[in-house]
Amino acid sequence: MNYKERAKALVAQMTLAEKCAQMRYDAPAIERLNVPAYNWWNECLHGVARSGAATVFPQSIAMAASFNPQLMEQVAVCISDEARAKYNEYRKFGDTQIYQGLTCWSPNINIFRDPRWGRGHETYGEDPLLTGVMGAAFIKGLQGDDSRHRKLDATIKHYAVHSGPEGKRHSFDAVVNEKDLWETYLFAFKYCIDHADPSAVMGAYNRINGEPACGSKTYLKETLYQKLGFKGYVVSDCGAICDFDQHHRVTETPIESAALAVNNGCTLNCGDTYKWLKAAVAEGLISEETITEAVEKLFEARFRLGMFDEDCVYNSIPYDVVECSRHQEINKAMADESIVLLKNDGILPLDNTKNIAVIGPNADDKSILLANYNGTPTEYYTLLRGILEASKGKVLYAKGCHIFDDEIHSWQEQPLREALIAVQKSDAVVMVMGLNPSMEGEEGDAYNGANSGDKSDIELPKTQLKLLREVKKIGKPIVFVNVSGSCVNLTEADTECNAVVQVFYPGAMGGKAVADMLFGVTNPSGGLPVTFYAGTDDLPDFEDYSMDNRTYQYFRGKPLYPFGYGLSYTEFRINVKSSSLKGVEAVVKNIGNYDGKCLVKVYVREKGNSRLNRRLAGFSKVFVPRGEEAAVNIALSRDVLSLFEDSSRLEIIVE
Of 504, 521, 554, which marks where a domain is finished? 554
Could you give phi then psi for residue 118, rounded to 5 degrees? -65, -30
Could you give phi then psi for residue 313, rounded to 5 degrees? -60, -25
What is the chain's alpha carbon radius of gyration, rounded to the nearest angstrom? 25
Q: Considering the domain boundaries, does residue 509 fall inside one?
A: yes
Q: Which of 516, 480, 504 is nearest to 400 (CA)?
A: 480
The reply to whether 487 and 378 lie within a common domain is yes
CA dihedral 490, 341, 115, 68 (to 10 degrees): 180
pLDDT at site 447 = 56
Distance from C-alpha of 329 to C-alpha of 310, rounded to nearest angstrom = 32
Distance from C-alpha of 63 to C-alpha of 116, rounded to nearest angstrom = 20
The reply to whether 453 and 387 lie within a common domain is yes
Catalytic residue among 127, 180, 237, 323: 237
The reply to whether 430 and 498 lie within a common domain is yes
The reply to whether 478 and 538 lie within a common domain is yes
Which stretches of the chain score pLDDT less than 70? 446-450
Sheet (strand 583-590) strand order: 572-580, 583-590, 629-635
Cβ–Cβ under 8 Å, residues 153 and 301: yes
**DSSP code, position 220:** I
Q: Which of 174, 314, 152 is nearest to 232 (CA)?
A: 152
If DSSP codes are grouped into helix, strand and coil, which group holds residue 128?
Answer: helix
Of 554, 583, 608, which marks where a domain is finished? 554
Kindly report whether the global pTM for this prediction surpasses the value 0.95. yes
The reply to whether 508 and 641 lie within a common domain is no
pLDDT at site 629 = 98
- 494: annotated active-site residue: no
The reply to whether 467 and 589 lie within a common domain is no
pLDDT at site 446 = 57
Q: How far is residue 27 from each of residues 30, 101, 115, measured CA to CA in Å?
A: 9, 12, 37
Which residues is 599 bridged to in the sheet? 621
Of 502, 524, 554, which marks where a domain is finished? 554
pLDDT at site 448 = 55
Residue pLDDT, tens place only, 275-305: 999 999 999 999 999 999 999 999 999 999 9
pLDDT at site 529 = 99
Distance from C-alpha of 497 to C-alpha of 516, rounded to nearest angstrom = 20
The reply to whether 585 and 549 lie within a common domain is no
Q: Considering the domain boundaries, does residue 637 fall inside one?
A: yes
The reply to whether 579 and 453 lie within a common domain is no
The reply to whether 506 and 603 lie within a common domain is no
Distance from C-alpha of 315 to C-alpha of 457, rounded to nearest angstrom = 48
Q: Considering the domain boundaries, does residue 294 fall inside one?
A: no
- Find the domain containing 597 and state its range: 572-654
pLDDT at site 450 = 64
CATH number at residue 591: 2.60.40.10
If DSSP codes are grouped into helix, strand and coil, which group holds residue 39?
Answer: strand
Cβ–Cβ under 8 Å, residues 217 and 264: yes
Cβ–Cβ under 8 Å, residues 56 and 374: yes
Do the bridges between strand 629-635 and strand 650-654 make them parallel or antiparallel, or are there none, so unpaired? unpaired
Could you give phi then psi for residue 605, rounded to 5 degrees? -130, 135
The count of domains in the chain is 2
Residue pLDDT, tens place only, 495-517: 999 999 999 999 999 999 999 99
Q: Considering the domain boundaries, does residue 422 fall inside one?
A: yes
| In 264-324, alpha helices (H) | 277-282, 288-304
The reply to whether 528 and 587 lie within a common domain is no
Residue 320, CA atoms < 13 Å, CB-side half-sphere: 4
CATH number at residue 513: 3.40.50.1700
CA dihedral 190, 194, 198, 199 (to 10 degrees): 100
The reply to whether 584 and 479 lie within a common domain is no
Catalytic residue among 183, 440, 454, 639: 440
Q: Considering the domain boundaries, does residue 543 fall inside one?
A: yes
Q: Does residue 415 have a cis bond before it (omega within 30 degrees)?
A: no
Q: Considering the domain boundaries, does residue 645 fall inside one?
A: yes
Cβ–Cβ under 8 Å, residues 216 and 234: no
Residue 619, CA atoms < 13 Å, CB-side half-sphere: 30
The reply to whether 531 and 627 lie within a common domain is no
Q: Considering the domain boundaries, does residue 3 fall inside one?
A: no
Q: Considering the domain boundaries, does residue 506 fall inside one?
A: yes
- 541: annotated active-site residue: no
